[in-house]
Amino acid sequence: MLASSRDSRIVGITAPHAAAGVTTVSNAFAEMSARWGAKTLLVDLSRVAADAGNGNCWAPGLGDPKLFLETNDRSYDVLQAMPNSAPLGAFNSARHFRASLVDELEDYAAIVLDIPPILDFSPETVNPLVAVVACDAVIIVCAKGRTTADHLKQTVDAITVAGGLIAGTVLNDLGRGRSRGRA
């Protein structure tokens, strides 16, 4: 799906609220794209400023993103991005952010953005509406039993008004997979 069309090269994954499984779904989409043969990058925008750790985080327009790639045993690359590693405004312009994704990450056929929740926006994270507007398409993850119809509607409205394109939703049954392996 991600690698099959240049029209959907940059796909964002988000949710109305935290703990819906966005990171898990983002990793699954990146893995799927890579297995289909596309050189794939997962950009983690979900970190908060307090998680900066060693400060080895990418910001749009500030150097070669390859210097910040996370080494791992996955079939796709991971890039950590954090607002406090950038000058004010680097993540506040959808046009600038998209240009960085397109130009600085041109080697990748598919880019998956792990975007912070829309309704739980914190100034310590990347503005999720800026991120969704920078995408070609957005997937909304809804946690079964947690995401209300009203929260989903508010999320859809916010993304649409901002100018984002919603491609679909994922209903994440967070408890089912964990309980199967237990006796």
As a whole number, mean pLDDT of residues 4-12 equals 75
As a whole number, mean pLDDT of residues 5-25 equals 89
Q: What is the pTM of this model?
A: 0.88
Q: What is the CATH number of the domain that holds 151?
A: 3.40.50.300
Domain membership flag for residue 183: no
182 versus 41: the higher-pLDDT residue is 41
d(CA 32, CA 180): 23
Domain membership flag for residue 181: no
Note the maximum CA span of the chain: 51
152 versus 176: the higher-pLDDT residue is 152
Question: Which of 122, 143, 113, 118 is closest to 19 using CA atoms?
Answer: 143
- State pLDDT tens for residues 66-125: 888 887 788 999 998 876 656 656 778 888 889 989 999 999 999 999 999 999 888 778
Reduced to 3 states (helix: H, G, I; strand: E, B; else coil), residue 181 is coil
As a whole number, mean pLDDT of residues 114-138 equals 92
Domain membership flag for residue 72: yes
d(CA 3, CA 11): 10
Question: Which of 33, 34, 95, 85 is closest to 62 using CA atoms?
Answer: 85
Reduced to 3 states (helix: H, G, I; strand: E, B; else coil), residue 153 is helix
Domain membership flag for residue 1: no
The confidence score (pLDDT) of residue 85 equals 59
Helix H or strand E segment including 1: none
d(CA 160, CA 14): 14
Domain extent, residue 156, equals 6-176
Domain membership flag for residue 45: yes
Q: Total structural domains in the chain?
A: 1
